[in-house]
Chains A and B, each alone.
Chain A
Amino acid sequence: AQKVTQAQTEISVVEKEDVTLDCVYETRDTTYYLFWYKQPPSGELVFLIRRNSFDEQNEISGRYSWNFQKSTSSFNFTITASQVVDSAVYFCALSEENDYKLSFGAGTTVTVRA
């Protein structure tokens, strides 16, 4: 069963628009960890953020912000005032308490046009 669902396959925006990427996860564990990674055209996955299941505080880092809602099993990611350099594939991932591996969603391709 798919543990992480990213329903948006592709999003295209014009520079300076905001873009929100949806992530819905499924787990029976009470302790789990959620991650976002960026995969630019070069191919290397870049770590962006980690949240644990006990910390529902939203987080902001520069133009990036994350909204974690346990009630809806969602961990959404917003890029504010997008830039061309934000063009990449973004992956949401889950790891569970007694499992070391990351379970990834299928990714959302973001294209920011100048």
Chain B
Amino acid sequence: GAGVSQSPRYKVAKRGQDVALRCDPISGHVSLFWYQQALGQGPEFLTYFQNEAQLDKSGLPSDRFFAERPEGSVSTLKIQRTQQEDSAVYLCASSHHQGPSYEQYFGPGTRLTVT
């Protein structure tokens, strides 16, 4: 079956541009997560959705970051006025159930480079 897909896989943006990153979770998965992975580091949590509800956005680094999942499936992470420090791989993960005990399945990530 299809796994988590993300698009685009690579994005180069000039400083100050807005970007939108898309995540298609595994069909039927209730939970969806966004993580940010800097070079040589482990993923860092950004935000969490349960269906269409954004239950936790405590990891979003600034108000330039915004995520939505309006119909409880596809999610978009938007970054406004990109800065060089936003350069990273953005990972999306989904989980069939809600709760901390269930494994999350990750997509291939979007590598964002801000020049």
Contact = CB atoms under 8 A, between A and B. Distances in A.
Interface stretch (B12-20, B61-69, B73-81, B103-111): B103-111
Nearest to B101: A33
Contact of B56 (A42, A100, A103): A100
B93 to A, nearest CB: 8
Interface residues of B, number: 28
Contacts, number: 65
Given A43-B89, A106-B41, A100 B109 contact: no
A99 B100 contact: yes
A35 B109 CA distance: 20
B9 to A, nearest CB: 9
Contact of B100 (A43, A45, A91, A95): A95
Contacts of B55: 100
Q: Give chain A's interface residue range (CB within 8 Å of chain B).
A: 20 to 34
Interface in A60-114: 91, 93, 95-107
Contacts of B107: 44
A97 B99 CA distance: 8
A50 interface: yes
A103 B33 CA distance: 12
